[in-house]
Structure 1
Amino acid sequence: MTTAVASPFRFFSLRVLRARRLGPSLVRVTFGGPELDAFRSLGRDQSLSLFLPQPGQSEPVVPLDLAWGSPRSSEAGNGGGWWQAWRELPDDVRAVMRSYTLRALRHDPGEIDIDFALHGVGPASRWASRAAAGDRALVLGPAIADNRAVRFRPPEDTGLVVLWGDETAVPAASAVLESLPAGTRARAWLEVPRAGDIQDIATEADAEIEWLVRHDGAPSAVGAVRAARLPLGERPYVWLAGESGHVRALRRYFVGERGVDRRRVTFVGYWRRGMTEEQFRAADQSS
């Protein structure tokens, strides 16, 4: 006798409902579609993969078994057959795939928000800057709320939550801060290109949030954190996400200089300076 186990991830075909600028460097795109009835997430820093059309295409081109209107693969992971089939499509034909974090999930009606950092040169930035109602996209996302793509997992005895993220991690950091219950002590540094990118974050936590604006000459990530002389106490939990070089430097600071138990530090490189996402993924897989 065998027991069927539901895959934690599946594909969702979606359409853009609306898009709005959050600042000069950030845009929020809201997606909807009937398939979101099966989308499940605890929120926080839930990551997902977004598939977008190439220029001149009306919809993202994916392998036949993922085509619009066909049944979705139940084995949605990089080890599944879809991954190799997608990779074998011509470079200028196959859908652009990029990793993002979920900013918000709403039911009745089903909607998800994804915030895009507009770097101006990448295909996802170009697509997001022009996104309009009706545009099609495909998302590889969670069908089970508690899944391995949620990385923010503070121990139960955490006395202080420490966060750092650049503009690519601001959506996740904002969702994390909004999820913290009243009485939670938190300190966050959020880095953005311009002052107009600063956002209001509603949180019940006892949180101190410092925005670092690069255009205004803000100190480096490690410099800002070190200058704060933050009293960590005995039970800190540290979450770091964004450009991989800054993430590694901050991890070395907290673990090496401040003595934080490495098991209480979650660090995620979302991108690497000077690399496309394809190059970053290849380097990450080979390391």
Structure 2
Amino acid sequence: MGAPIAQQYRLYPARVVGVTRIGASTVRVTFGGAELAGFAGGGRDQSVSLFLPHPGQPAPVLPAQDGGEDWFGAYRALDPEVRAVMRSYTIRAQRPEHAEVDIDFVVHGDTGPASRWAGRAGAGDQVVLLGPTTADNRSVCFRPPDDTGLILLAADETALPAVGGILDWLPAGTRVRAWIEVPDAADIQQLSTAAQAEVRWLVRGSTPPGSRLLVDAVRAARLPAGTPYAWVAGESSIVRAVRRHLVAERDLDRRRVTFSGYWRQGASEDTLRAETLTAAA
């Protein structure tokens, strides 16, 4: 039996060691720090909780003890105007030999605390990551069954880092069909992979985010033969619509569709997190 959930994660203090603009809408921030040498990311769509300081704070304000359920309660008990801003992100790349990880941020001005922070990030800025101590952790959701013959990926720009991590991880010869929606043609990336991947980029342009562009593209596709496994992530209502299409119209076993709403139109991450906590209670 594995370690209890709380013991599978810990806090990793880190600092910014590099910032690179990789698209019209995306900034890649490289974090470093001696403790990141022990970051046990599982690759694929490995997610972490990232804690950011408020403007004017030199470092994120967090409870003294390490991660775990009691720690999270202590974090929630802090003044929201003082405690660190908490956001969920996917690790785009990890280099344990250099004690570094990359996180890609979709930036949209000062419309949210994470976008504002990423737009101003500079070398030496301090953050804290709540991440895994074991590579086989429940924050990795991409888990195709052994009999999978075809991988289907559908994502918007918020899930593009996860798609990149998945393509990095897939072995040579794996058949992949992917649809990725991005705001601008300058957001299209060269995604390296050993897999046999066909990637279709959907440039949104003036179409509002959260439209049915991704749903319509998946619905119109002709898929090759093979037992599929699907991974879908992005805006919540669109993710659900893609899943409904795959299950109801393509007859995929719902157990072979992994789906995740990374954001919801009109709702902040704080709102979504509060709803999750209320539902759990």
TM-score class, shorter-chain normalisation, is: over 0.9
Q: Partner residue of 2:90? A: 101
Q: Distance in 2 between matches of 1:219 and 1:194?
A: 16
Q: Given the alignment, which residue of 191, 214, 228 partners 1:236?
A: 228
1:14-67 CA-to-partner distances (Å, cap 9, x unmatched) read 0000101011100000001011122112200001000000011111011133xx
Q: Given the alignment, which residue of 220, 232, 246 partners 2:238?
A: 246
Q: Distance in 1 between matches of 2:98 and 2:3?
A: 30
1:163 matched to 2:153? The reply is: yes
Q: Partner residue of 2:261? A: 269
Question: TM-score, normalized by length of structure 1?
Answer: 0.91
Task: Kindly provide the amino acid, as one letter, of the partner of residue 275 in structure 2.
Answer: A
Q: Distance in 1 between matches of 2:266 and 2:49?
A: 21
CA RMSD of aligned residues (A): 1.7
Q: Distance in 1 between matches of 2:45 and 2:130?
A: 15
Question: TM-score, normalized by length of structure 2?
Answer: 0.93
Alignment of 1:16-55 (within 5 A): 16-55=16-55
Q: Give 1:230 shift.
A: 2.4
Task: Kindly provide the amino acid, as one letter, of the partner of residue 92 in structure 1.
Answer: E
Contact 2:49 2:131 in 1 (8 A): yes
Q: Distance in 2 between matches of 1:285 and 1:224?
A: 34
Q: Partner residue of 1:84? A: 73
Compared CA separation, residues 92 and 184, structure 1 to 2 (3 A): same
Q: Partner residue of 1:110? A: 99
> Structure 1 stretch 172-181 or stretch 208-217: which is displaced more?
208-217
Aligned-partner SS, 2:97: coil
1:165-188 CA-to-partner distances (Å, cap 9, x unmatched) read 111100001110121111110000
Aligned-partner SS, 2:218: helix
Q: Distance in 1 between matches of 2:228 and 2:202?
A: 22
Q: Give 1:82 shift.
A: 1.4
Task: Kindly provide the amino acid, as one letter, of the partner of residue 56 in structure 1.
Answer: G
Q: Distance in 1 between matches of 2:100 and 2:31?
A: 6
Q: Partner residue of 1:175? A: 165
Aligned-partner SS, 1:50: strand
Contact 2:37 2:100 in 1 (8 A): no
1:192-215 CA-to-partner distances (Å, cap 9, x unmatched) read 111111100011111100111111
Contact 1:221 1:246 in 2 (8 A): yes
Compared CA separation, residues 192 and 81, structure 1 to 2 (3 A): same
Q: Distance in 1 between matches of 2:154 and 2:54?
A: 33
Aligned-partner SS, 2:98: coil
Q: Given the alignment, which residue of 262, 271, 275 partners 1:283?
A: 275
Name the % identity. Answer: 58
Q: Give 1:108 shift.
A: 2.0
Aligned-partner SS, 1:119: coil
Gaps of 5+ in 1: 66-72
Task: Kindly provide the amino acid, as one letter, of the partner of residue 272 in structure 1.
Answer: R
Q: Give 1:7 shift.
A: 1.3
Q: Partner residue of 1:68? A: none
Contact 2:38 2:96 in 1 (8 A): no
Aligned-partner SS, 1:124: helix
Q: Give 1:256 shift.
A: 0.9
Q: Distance in 2 between matches of 1:57 and 1:85?
A: 19
Q: Give 1:133 shift.
A: 0.4
Compared CA separation, residues 92 and 4, structure 1 to 2 (3 A): closer
Number of paired residues? 273
